[in-house]
Structure 1
């Protein structure tokens, strides 16, 4: 646990952008106050006051008229820059991570280290949906394992074209998606049952996020509370790929084949 003095020092450094700018500049090379004034665009008085604060905390030392950052000052600087990077990452991936956490997906935190994110925006609300459709259309014969909490005409058409080009698709949906498929997309549902290139399973529990695995790529689709796709995260990182494979295996182990579920529904008395 950090001490009170550590908390106070962190507040001191974060209290002014000029302070971190000076520490960053000294990390590059030792400087005199006049050189720092030009480098960070601050008055000489401000620079001298900050240098005094750094010396008090032993983050810098003075040799003659030149200031040098100490090893502890370097570590403080690196830790602060790391914090800023994490905050930037949280700002970019925050919605994706929040939607997955709300869905109970258990996405690994270190999975956000690498990957490309496509996010829906007010200007382009269909960006995530379009990206998923684009991915399905470009797999060109690769085997696919997928999980989806929705069914759309775009998904069905893209999947059908992929199967026609030699892909084999394993798909897990939930019962609500099945009901929508039977009611609104009868021909596509019939093909899912009869086509050897498609294997569909029905989960007994609601599904609230999407997965898409092909070759060495794992795609994770985050949906909002209204089941609108909001973010698509694509990665070849081993952590993400392993997580996606484990999630698919867990869901498929609890799911039943589509044909069996439909047959059961047709024989169940009203």
Structure 2
């Protein structure tokens, strides 16, 4: 656990962009105060005051008129830069990570470093949806395993085109999606029942995030509280691919073939 003085020193460094800039400049090479004044665009008085604060904390020493970072100062610099990188990553991947956590997906934290993210924005609210459709259309006959908490015309058309090009698709949906598909997308549902290259499973539990696997690529689709696709994360990293495959296996084991669900529903109505 960090000491009170450690918290104070952290607040000291983070409390001024100029302090960070000076430590960063000194980490690159030793400098005299005049050189630092030009490098960080600060007054000589400000630079001298900050250097005194660094010397007090033993982050730098003065030797032959120039200031040098100490090994502890270098570690402080590296740790702070690492924190900034993590905060930047949290800003870029925050919505994706939050939506997956809300859905209980248990996505591996290390995976966030490995892929590309497409996120919907106010300017482009359909960016994530369009990216998923593009991925389905460009698989070019590769076999696809997928999970989806929604059904849309765009998904159905893209999946149909992929099957026409020789792909085999294995899809997991939940019962709410099935009801919507039967009510609003009858031809697509009929094809899912009759086409040997399409295998659809129905999960008894609600599905709240999407998965898309083909070749060596794993795609994860995060949806908001209203089931709007918000982020698409694509990765070939082994950790992410293994996680996606495990989730697919788990969801498949707990699901029922579409044909069996439809037959059971028909028998119940009779």
Q: TM-score range by the shorter chain?
A: over 0.9
Q: Could you say which residue in structure 2 is the equivalent of 1:76? A: 76
User: How many residue pairs are counted as aligned between the two chains?
Assistant: 270
> Residue in 2 aligned with 1:147?
147
- Determine the C-alpha separation between the residues in 2 that align with 1:126 and 1:257: 31
Matched, 1:218 2:218: yes
Q: 1:147-202, CA deviations, whole angstroms, 9 ceiling, x for partnerless residues?
A: 00000011001000100101011000000000001111111101101101100000
Which residues in structure 2 correspond to 1:164-243 (within 5 Å)?
A: 164-243=164-243
* CA distance in 1 between partners of 2:242 and 2:9 (Å): 40
| Residues in 2 aligned to 1:180 and 1:263: alpha-carbon distance in whole angstroms | 17
TM superposition shift of 1:269: 4.1
**Aligned equivalents of 2:34, 2:133: Cα separation in 1:** 57
State TM-score, norm by structure 2: 0.99
State whether structure 2 residue 14 is matched by structure 1 residue 14: yes
CA–CA distance in structure 2, aligned partners of residues 177 and 195 of structure 1: 19
1:62 counterpart = 2:48: no
Q: Distance in 2 between matches of 1:206 and 1:139?
A: 27
What do you get for the CA RMSD once the two structures are aligned? 0.8
Q: 2:157 corresponds to which residue?
A: 157
3-state secondary structure, aligned to 1:141: coil
Query: 1:39: how far off?
Result: 0.4
Give me the whole-angstrom Cα distance separating, in 2, the residues matched to 1:61 and 1:123. 50
Residue 113 of structure 1: aligned partner = 113
> Hey, what's the Cα distance between the residues in 2 that align with 1:120 and 1:137?
19
Match of 2:26 in 1: 26
- List, as ranges, runs of 4+ consecutive aligned residues in structure 1 with deviation greater than 3 Å: none
Residue of structure 2 equivalent to 1:127: 127
Once the two structures are TM-superposed, the CA of residue 238 in structure 1 deviates from its matched residue by 1.0
Unmatched tracts of structure 1, length 5 or more? none
CA-to-aligned-CA distance 1:216-256 (integer Å, 9 cap, x gap): 10000000111000110111111111111111000000000
- Secondary structure of residue in 2 paired with 1:268: helix
